[in-house]
Amino acid sequence: MAEGVAYWWRGRLHSEREAPPLAVPLRLVKIEAVEWLCPKCGARAEWGPEPRCPRCGARCEPRTLVEEVPELVDAIEALERAFNRACKARVRGAVLLEPFGIFVPLFTWKLLDLELPDGSRLVGVYAGKPRFLKRGFHDGNGSLTSFELPGNLAVIVWSGGVVECLVFEVEEPLKLVELLSG
Interface residues with Zn ion (CB under 5 A)? 38, 40-41, 43, 53, 55-56, 58
Of 51 and 105, the one with the shorter C-beta distance to Zn ion is 51
CB of 80 to Zn ion, least distance (A): 49
Rounded-to-integer distance, Cα 40 and Cα 182, Å: 50
Neighbours of 25 (CB within 10 A): 18
Closest distance to Zn ion from the beta carbon of 33 (Å): 20
Q: How far apart are CA 34 and CA 63, in angstroms?
A: 6
The nearest distance, CB 40 to Zn ion, in angstroms, is 5
Phi-psi label, residue 54: left if phi above 0, alpha if psi -120 to 50, beta otherwise: alpha
Which residue's CB is nearer to Zn ion, number 7 or number 36?
36
- Considering the complex, state which of residue 59 and residue 88 has its C-beta at the smaller distance from Zn ion: 59
Residue type, 108: T
